[in-house]
Amino acid sequence: MKINGVEIEDTFAEAFGMTATRILITAINEKWAMQAATTMTGFATSVIGCGVEAGIGRALTAKETPDGRPGVTVLLFGMSEKDLKKQLENRLGQCVLTCPTTAVFSDIESEKKIPLGKNLRFFGDGFQISKKFGDKRYWRIPVMDGEFICEENTSRVSAVGGGNFLVLAETQQQALAACETAIEAMHILPNIILPFPGGIVRSGSKVGSKYKTLMASSNEAYCPTLRGLTKSQLTPDIGAVMEIVIDGLTEDEVAESMRVGINAACSLGPENGIKKITAGNYGGKLGQYHFHLREIMA
């Protein structure tokens, strides 16, 4: 299969079951809502080292939020309920509670609840006040610029993490340009995040290492500088490989984001150095979700 002259390898991306939540941060203006969201999603590229994978969803207008102020959604993905609860609470306390003028609400519904303000309220040192509207409880926590309003609970849902595709190009600049084009197209899709820096991974990994203490290490088969030293997957004309990793709330949303991103990357074509699209997997033995590239692109 080729798209605009770019080969689509007959392989699949292997992804994993995760658990996720989506919250809404509001503030006096979009600048401060976005500041809180940006701070909260820092150091959240991979559960391997960060405990959670997180990213900014979309900006909401004042007409779309519970308190009539501008807002920003944040999605967080964990490997377990325990990990998700811990990271959500820590990041709320350190990055959102501390940010001027913010408030926090749940932005997703399910039967599975996890604490949002339920434990954070204790920062009020006994001066916190609860209010219930309908079936939802909110906490008013006194802070130095007024009050921090936080919904008591949010929900968590089953999710998919680790959808991916790799762009193989002649040069580093060309691989980067293709990934940037893909990311721009993918960012309009709901309920997905691209957790790595700017959405791109330059250090794709494999499971395990010659060093026993490491869970993962450099995927040498796709490192162009190691072409003559390893069992390389790269032809002589490939000078750089970059990867885009996707987490999404559903399997279909991950597949759609891959389709949109691959189409966008291929739009640059071989004349701009884009040679092949492939994907990362572990032989199908670790992740229960297999995204076959040619099926997605068909």
pTM: 0.95
Q: What is the CA radius of gyration of the chain?
A: 21
Q: How far apart are CA 78 and CA 20, in angstroms?
A: 6
For residue 231, the SS3 value is: coil
Got the DSSP string for 250-267? SHHHHHHHHHHHHHHHHT
Got the DSSP string for 146-203? EEEEEESEEE-EEEEEEEEEEEEESSHHHHHHHHHHHHHHHTTSTTEE--SGGG-BSS
For 105-127, give one letter per residue: b (16+ CB within 10 A) or e: bbbbeeeeebbbbbebbebbeee
In 3D space, the residue among 46, 71, 21 whose CA is nearest the CA of residue 203 turns out to be 46
**By the 8 A CB rule, do 297 and 278 touch?**
no
Beta carbons within 8 Å of 23's beta carbon, 6+ residues apart: 73, 74, 76, 88, 104, 105, 106, 107, 116, 154
For residue 242, the SS3 value is: strand
Residue 76, phi then psi, degrees to nearest 5: -125, 135
Q: For 9-35, what is each residue's pLDDT tens digit?
A: 999 999 999 999 999 999 999 999 999
What domains are there in the chain, each with its CATH number?
2-14+159-297 (3.30.70.520), 19-157 (3.30.70.520)
Question: Can you give the pLDDT at residue 120?
Answer: 96
Question: Can you give the pLDDT at residue 285?
Answer: 86
**By the 8 A CB rule, do 54 and 76 touch?**
yes
Q: Which two tokens stand for residue 117?
A: 């303000």
Question: Can you give the pLDDT at residue 286?
Answer: 87
Q: How far apart are CA 195 and CA 186, in angstroms?
A: 13
Which residues on neighbouring strands pair with residue 138, listed in sequence order? 131, 151
Q: Per-residue pLDDT for the chain (298 aa), expressed as one digit of tens each?
A: 999 999 999 999 999 999 999 999 999 999 999 999 999 999 999 999 999 999 999 999 999 999 999 999 999 999 999 999 999 999 999 999 999 999 999 999 999 999 999 999 999 999 999 999 989 999 999 999 999 999 999 999 999 999 999 999 999 999 999 999 999 999 999 999 999 999 999 999 998 999 999 989 999 999 999 999 999 999 999 999 999 999 999 999 999 999 999 999 999 999 999 999 999 998 898 899 999 999 999 9
